[in-house]
């Protein structure tokens, strides 16, 4: 289920939001730690139940080759 606030964003706004989040967590250890905690909280609340973010495929099986 997509929350209302995210659903109301335009595609460029969605890309900007996600890209900005990624840039922040890539650039600063404290933001990275916050991201990990956010994921843990989402997991505890069941938001990730039944969700596979990066499913196993031939592509993902060769990422470390």
Mind giving me the DSSP string for 24-36? HHHH-HHHHHHHH
pTM of the model: 0.76
Query: CA 23, CA 31: separation in Å to the nearest integer?
Result: 10
pLDDT in tens, 9-28: 999 999 999 999 999 999 99
Query: CA 35, CA 45: separation in Å to the nearest integer?
Result: 15
The answer to whether 32 and 38 are in contact (CB under 8 A) is: no
For residue 40, the SS3 value is helix
Average pLDDT score over residue span 22-44 = 98
Look at residue 64 and tell me whether its pLDDT is greater than 80: no
**Residue 51: band (very low, low, confident or very high) from pLDDT cuts 50, 70, 90:** very high
User: What residue spans define the domains of the chain?
Assistant: 4-61
């Amino acid at each position: 289920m997509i929350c209302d606030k995210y659903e109301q964003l335009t595609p460029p706004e969605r890309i900007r939001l996600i890209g900005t989040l990624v840039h922040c967590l890539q650039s600063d250890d404290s933001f990275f730690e916050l991201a990990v905690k956010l994921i843990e909280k989402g997991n505890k609340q069941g938001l990730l139940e039944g969700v596979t973010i990066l499913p196993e495929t031939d592509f993902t099986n060769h990422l470390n080759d």
